[in-house]
Chain A
Amino acid sequence: MAFDRMTRRDVLRASALATVAGGTLAAPAVHAQPTTTLRCGFWDHWVPAGNGAMRELCAEWGERNRVNVQVDFITSVGNQNLLTIAAQAQSRSGHDILSFPTWEPAAKYDMLEPLDDVMGRLTAKYGPVNAAAEYLGKIRGKWVAIPAVSGTQMKPACVRFDLMEQHAGIDIRAMWPANDTRGPGADTWNWDTFLTAAEKCHAAGVPFGMPMGSFTDAVDTVGAIMASFGATMMDREGKVTVQGNAKLKTAVEYLVKLSRFLPNDVWAWDDGANNRALISGRSALIFNPPSAWAVAKRDAPQVAEKCWTVPVPAGPEGRFTPYLPYFWGIWSFSRNKGPAKQLLEFLSERTSAEKQTNTSNGYDIPPFVSMNNFEVWAKEGPPVGTVYNYPLRAHHNATASIAMAPAPAEFAVQAYQQALNTKVVARIAQGGETIDQSLDWLHRELTNIVRGG
């Protein structure tokens, strides 16, 4: 479950048994006593086996470096991870290493140990990380956290290809086959096509499961749709750009139209509701990493066999895939910064990254562009190739999208947590406001954020 500890002693016991069995003499126990304990709080994985990789990697590294690595897994359900970050920042105590989602490294940059040295070595080895991860992790010219592998996710469309073909007449597997080519109709895979398909599937009783609440799945997806319409709410300098923003208005209008073809309670959906909708077979499409599929593989195999992950539709300004990166950061109050840095470097290496991605059925997206060719994405199944198009591929012609970008981090994090982008849609579609009223509201909220600092 969520709470798991792998102490070095456990590993020792296991390995001691192995060595005894092998007939060799174990090293004297005195030398093996680790002196430091490194406490890590990693993101509690949604893919059932996902935590295993982190546990094993930490144990392996701890064994080698004689460090006692204690691993906790902190769930993002109910924002438990945000609570943990806030509490540890407040009390200046807790874990040495913690996982930070999207905007959190920027929000806590003054409490995080700069990691330029580690990032320097890693980029020298593996080349650059993707731009979005750099934007969020490198604050005022310093890397304050390392883009993590475990937990970092894209949220492309996971489609029930049978339902999509039956009700909307789109053969999604032909459109996005499990190789580097664009199939027939790939050029028409845009938000207009998507809207028509949404309407048809809604009429057929298998509406698209796109949450519109205040949790990350909803905020990230709506953020990506807005980005593909070129709509921004705040510019790089922190100036609110809502009033007279035609692109934003178009995006909001589109989202309002789309929301009519979604289940009527999407406004209250959490990050698990879309997964449940897919797994129970009542939804033809959700925007999600492969965790929903992975759970379906275990609990509802007949559904999993019919899932196919494809890029998100494109908008007038391009194709933007919702991206939710996690970061590994070291608190400035940590007393074990040296070992912590070493562990993070180890976890970011290609072999470690591949192990994390493999164990999580391809869920984890490594930050380094050069690692986007792990075999797991081509091999996972059934159906084989279902997650081939999950990472960004060159032929998708897509960009990773961060909701609320390019606003300055201290404002963006507040707008993100308050889910202002989904609320502006909900106020119209559910609250009965006019689009101008709702945009006025958005303007006021954002101005408030800027005034509050």
Chain B
Amino acid sequence: MVADGSHAPGGMASRSRGRANAMQRFARRRSTVAFLMTVPLLAIIIGLVAYPAAYAIYLSTLNRRMTAFAGTLNFELLFESDTFWMVAFQSCFFAITAVVLKASIGFWLAHMLHHIPDKGQRKWRGMLLVPWVIPPALSTLGWWWMFDPSYSSINWLLAVISVPEVPWLGHHWWARIAIIMVNVWIGAPFFMIMYLAALKSVPEQLYEAAMIDGASSFQRLRYVTLPMMANIISITVLFSLIVTFANYDIVRVLTNGGPRDLTHVFASYAFQVGILSGNIPRGAAVSLFMFPILALCAFFVLRSVTRRNKEQM
């Protein structure tokens, strides 16, 4: 790289010829150089993502002690187990509910932020993004303490408005709600920021035109804002669906899957089965179930992204 192109073409007269030469030389060399520059990236993608993913498939075909090939036994056993279907249900329920809530709250807050005068926005934005900034495992620890049955500060607040004590982590539906609450708390600011950015890129003339036509605020939202934001909404929702679906830390810190494995999601269940109980092949099989759903989301994300890029060009 140092030797490359170190001879500068000299003299004004030879500029055009020199330029052609330089371009040719670059053309010859640049694909090699470029390839070398992407080697570390390739190493990571192939060695630490593609290979492990393929290896997971291989692992899932082994028996528990990993001494013999077991075919599809791990998958068969999972299909037969009630717990696994509960986990599948809970993963989908958790991801969909949490993403819908995050997107709605984020959308609402972005709108509200967009409404207030510009100079106040920065302050509010800074404050509202805090949940997203704290490492999730640590803030979940704080939530755990707020849910703790012996001294729940949330129950204390509820008691003030005379709501009976809630067994936050003891009853599975409450525990599911608690997990969703924490996830929404952490993720809603992200949507808010994304939507705020998108709102700001909607040309103001469109609204003015709509207002002159006598459109109500709902109509403006329906016919101006939403179409303009459709792409960003779909990208963020699909993207968040992937991340939420694969979530692990909230469940790990808050409930560890309990009560009765009813709050396990794929990731935490794979951890429980694969690493904690030492059944690596079964755990690999569990985590592989995330793959089709993620691939589907990834396909749509990619499609939206390319469409968006085309629009921008």
Contacts and interface: CB of A to CB of B under 8 A. Distances in A.
Answer yes or no: A and B touching, Cβ < 8 Å: yes
Interface of A: 78-79, 82-83, 86-87, 89-90, 107, 213-214, 263-270, 273, 276-277, 280, 282, 413-414, 417-418, 423, 426-427, 430-431, 441, 444-445, 448, 451-453
A78 B256 contact: yes
B150 A280 contact: yes
Given A282-B150, A414-B277, A448-B81, A265 B260 contact: no
A214 B258 contact: yes
A453 B65 contact: yes
Contacts of A431: 172, 260
Given A82-B276, A452-B64, 14 more contacts: A214-B260, A264-B171, A267-B170, A267-B258, A268-B167, A268-B169, A268-B259, A269-B170, A423-B260, A423-B261, A427-B260, A444-B81, A448-B81, A451-B73
Nearest to A453: B64
Contacts of B221: none
Nearest to A78: B256
Contacts of B275: 83, 86-87
A414 B168 CA distance: 28
Q: What's the interface size class on B, roughly? A: 20 to 34
Contacts of A423: 260-261
Given A268-B169, A268-B255, A418 B277 contact: yes
Q: What are the 5 A-B residue pairs with the smallest beta carbon separation, nearest first?
A: A265-B170, A267-B259, A265-B167, A268-B170, A268-B169
Contacts of A280: 150
B260 A430 contact: yes
B175 interface: yes
A268 B77 contact: no
Contacts of A444: 80-82
Contacts of A87: 275
B262 to A, nearest CB: 8
Given A445-B83, A451-B73, A83 B260 contact: no
Contacts, number: 92
Contacts of B140: none
B304 interface: no
Contacts of A277: 150
Interface in B5-50: none
12 contacts: A83-B276, A86-B276, A214-B256, A263-B149, A264-B170, A265-B149, A267-B172, A414-B279, A430-B171, A444-B82, A445-B82, A452-B282
Given A213-B259, A264-B167, A268-B175, A89 B64 contact: no
A430 B81 CA distance: 19
Interface in B70-89: 73-74, 77, 80-83
Nearest to B277: A417
A299 B241 CA distance: 45
B81, B175, B280: most-surrounded residue (chain A CB, <10 A): B81
B80 A107 contact: no
Interface of B: 63-65, 73-74, 77, 80-83, 149-150, 167-172, 175, 255-261, 275-280, 282
A86 to B, nearest CB: 5
A79 B276 contact: yes
Contacts of B149: 263, 265, 273
B56 to A, nearest CB: 15
A273 B80 CA distance: 33
A276 B82 contact: no
A83 B82 CA distance: 25
Residue of B77, B170, B280, B282 with most partner-chain A CB within 10 A: B170
A213 B262 CA distance: 12
Pick the most buried of A107, A267, A273: most chain B CB atoms within 10 A of its CB.
Answer: A267
Contacts of A214: 256-258, 260-261
Contacts of A282: 150
B258 A276 contact: no
Nearest to B262: A431
Nearest to A280: B150
A444 B277 CA distance: 19
Contacts of B255: 268
A86 B275 CA distance: 7
A86 B260 contact: no
B52 to A, nearest CB: 15
A430 B276 contact: no
A209 B261 CA distance: 21
B164 to A, nearest CB: 11
Contacts of B282: 452
Contacts of B74: 452
A317 to B, nearest CB: 27
Given A86-B278, A441-B82, A453-B65, A266 B261 contact: no
A250 B24 CA distance: 87
A451 to B, nearest CB: 6
A310 to B, nearest CB: 25
B211 to A, nearest CB: 53
Nearest to B65: A453
Contacts of B175: 268
A427 B81 CA distance: 15
Given A268-B170, A444-B82, A445-B83, A451 B77 contact: yes
Contacts of B256: 78, 214, 270
Given A213-B259, A268-B169, A448 B63 contact: no
Contacts of A213: 258-259
Contact of A266 (B81, B82, B170): B170
Select the residue from B77, B171, B259 with max chain A CB neighbours within 10 A: B259
A150 to B, nearest CB: 23
Contact of A268 (B73, B82, B83, B258): B258
Contacts of B171: 264-265, 267, 430
Contacts of A426: 259-260
A426 to B, nearest CB: 5
A263 B148 CA distance: 13
Contacts of A266: 170
A423 B81 CA distance: 14
